[in-house]
Amino acid sequence: MFGADVNETGVQPVWVEVRNGTSEPLWLLRPGTDPDYYSPLEVAWSLHTLLAQDANSRMDDHFDRLGFRSPILPGETQAGILFTNPDRVTKLLNIDLFRGNGLVPFTLFLPVTDDAGRAAGAQTRFGYPDAQIADPRDLAALRSALERLPCCASDEHGPDRGDPLNTVLIGELPEIVAALVRRSYHRDPHPVDATQQVFGRACDVVLRKQAQAGAPATWLRAWLAPLRFDGRAVYVVQVGRPVGGRFAPRGSASLVLHEDVDEARNVLVQEMMYSSGLARLAFVAGVGATSAAGLPAMARGAHYRTDGLRAVLFLSTRPLTLSDVEILDWEPPHLDWRETDARPNAHK
């Protein structure tokens, strides 16, 4: 289709077709699919050759024609290419269609053809038998159930010696993924993620914040919990970042958890406020507070300190603003952080 190997440029092209059955024009919002999307001419430029002005111009025109174009008028069908950052095994494709009275969002889970033969590509979403799923009747019962969830994952050191479970996401997977993709999170499992286990299994979903030049970034490991609330799934989550953040060595297989796990949790909360998908926010106990003198020891020499709370995020498909977010009166909101609080001698 392109006359060149676009995948070699680090770009993942996705063919999209939209049939507009409404009475209004629709616009596909590219940043909703990938906040760091590539324009067609940007991709074409990366494939230019020296001293070939005519060929490069034809290439520009070809890529420009292939790119997806808006608007999609009522009753019409529009097809084209979106040039995105790559996902492995499964593409979490978010499509936001804007119209005069709101947003029409879709989230699709697409197998990545080049990775179809990998073992991870054969995984299916984990599910519990109905008899094992608790269904709290109200917010008070939900709070109690969330506080009883495990404090931490298990790892090679034994039960509750893994990373802390400092976040809960409530919503169906497409709702959760749509909000996270809008904030540059992509599916990106690493071998080290499988060392963390909750409910006797490795994490069901791993996403990482898109960082420049392949630098290590914030990770989000999620496990489906045996809970539902208002018909929606409940995921217990580890949110963390490596020591050194984006300055940590690229491609390292032995990243160490940064000890200020509350900072990573709080930044995720604030990002979800901007995602247009956050409906409610609360904080609950359950992780267990740690002091400067007693930081838990974990694998690879990691330690962490925390106020002991986990953030609870209720996600929705409806486009929401900051003023729409309801903060539940559970534990006092902990939305800020200071680097000095993360140092072992900060409170001496």
User: Which of 152, 194, 166 has the alpha carbon at shortest distance from 268?
Assistant: 166
Among residues 321, 323, 327, 326, the alpha carbon closest in space to that of 284 is found at 327
Query: How much is the average pLDDT of 27-47?
Result: 93
Using 50, 70 and 90 to split pLDDT, how confident is the model at 104? confident
pLDDT tier at 322, thresholds 50, 70, 90 = confident
Going along the chain from its start, the domains and CATH numbers come out as 6-119 (2.60.40), 130-342 (no CATH)
- Confidence class of residue 29 from pLDDT cuts 50, 70 and 90? very high
> Is residue 300's pLDDT more than 80?
no
CA distance 342 to 323: 31
Digit-coded pLDDT (tens) for 205-254: 999 886 665 666 789 999 999 999 999 999 999 999 887 766 766 666 56
Contact status, residue 135 vs residue 141, Cβ threshold 8 Å:
no
Give me the chain's average pLDDT, please: 85
The answer to whether 257 and 235 are in contact (CB under 8 A) is: no
Burial tier of 272 (Cβ tally within 10 Å: 0-12, 13-18, 19+): buried
Confidence of residue 68 (pLDDT cuts 50, 70, 90): very high
Q: Across 164-168, 189-193, 208-212, which has the greatest mean pLDDT?
A: 164-168
Please indicate whether residue 113 or residue 31 has the higher confidence score (pLDDT): 31
